[in-house]
Amino acid sequence: MKITDLPIKELEKEDKREILSACLSRIKEVEPKLHAFVTTLTAEDVEGKGFFDSSFQEVAQNDKGGSAEDSPLQGIPVGIKDVICTRNLRTTASAKMLDNFVPPYDATVVKKLKDSGAIVVGKNNCDAWAHGSSTENSDYGVTPNPWDLARVSGGSSGGSAAAVAAGEVPYSIGTDTGGSIRQPASFCGVVGLKPTYGRVSRYGLIAMGSSLDCPGPITKTVEDAAIVLNVIAGEDPKDATTLKDDSGQARMTTDFTKDLNKGIEGLKIGVPKEYFGLGLFDEVGEVFKQSLLTLEKMGAEVIEISLPHTEYALAAYYIIMTAETSSNLGRYDGVKYGFSAKNSKDLIDSYFKTRDEGFGDEAKRRIMLGAYVLSSGYYDAYFMKAAKVRRLIHDDFIKAFEHVDVILTPTAPTPAFKIGEKADPVSMYLADVFTVPVSLAGLPAISVPAGFSTDKLPIGIQIIGGHFEEAKILNVAHQFEKATGNEEWRKYKPKV
């Protein structure tokens, strides 16, 4: 097996210089076709930064106060979604508005990775501002799917998922607002974990929907996702939404690798009946049924449940998210930083021209929708109603978890669709129909590969847990991964 195919766990035993060299070579080889990165380091950059100098290793400290050499991520390359700030490394949000923006600081998640010895090799392409489900909205070009270059890699973290699937990096960090880690992970045949809202700091994210955004790992295996979560999780004084429990103790100290090998005999798995009339493709449904049979053979009990407000989730999400988006994008006015239009007559004209020329169609659509639902006369009719529906969806999940341990659904209703196939925005929004309810409730969920379509396209299943129950869903996902490890489809390889 090539070094670029190995998961983090196995790379611990390999020479770190060889790993980095192999990843940089792989990036150089496939990027002309894949466009999974907006910005990448070169071999010269790496030597200049002295990643393997003893002085660098002495400075790098992990959260426990030990040497970075104690961390399984020490010396392992990582790709960072381009909406996450990286000190002295261009961060564009895949939007021309921020074409030359170089942050003076690291996002907390990036700092934690660097403190553990991880090596950031570049910034992954995404839908501009993370607005999309296919990476077709990037101002730097589409990232196609490594399994079929005529199809999308998903979104908005499409570049992050494609880079891992194609062996450019062993893992990446994406963000998930309504499914933007899980859906591209499903499309690209990798593992994608959305943590509980508040589990991982949002400090340093270029915000989209502030009450929804969650950074998380995209990896080759479930164990790798647990390894990365161990590093990036934790309370952050720079982000008030990272949470403590009622006793005032941080709820972020779990070792997520500890319970991976627990058996799942007697585990109660809920299957929501509402998820099977929402444009579900037959092949996805068949893979899902086979996954349920596998889990039943392992001793789990499958129980039908109801999440009655599911049908309202997508509408509520696209009201709440656009409202928050319109507010967050208000700062891009051409004055403080970023793109500024030329030849403006006055300040007001500059504002209009900058935002007209700097924002793409999807950003404008979301700004207008958000401004509308927050406007006088419509706030109560739309935004407040959506907020109330969000609470009902949250309560549906809480009630369901009184009877089951985890909930299982397909990750996406279809395999990866063709580039340009979904020109209608509403049909694009429907690609997130299974992931959005989880985001509204702030729950953790993981997408794991579960099979393939007849066109050899990956299909994932989504395992959902209660708040702060990442360890539980990681355990179920890992056991499923082991149980299907010898399946024929596990031997398939991407085309690039």
Q: Which residues pair with 86 in a beta bridge?
A: 89
Catalytically annotated residues: 81, 156, 180
Question: Strand 144-145 to strand 77-81: parallel, antiparallel, or no bridges (unpaired)?
Answer: unpaired
Q: What is the CA angle 410-391-326, rounded to 5?
A: 85
Q: Which residues pair with 445 in a beta bridge?
A: 194, 464
Amino acid at 229: L
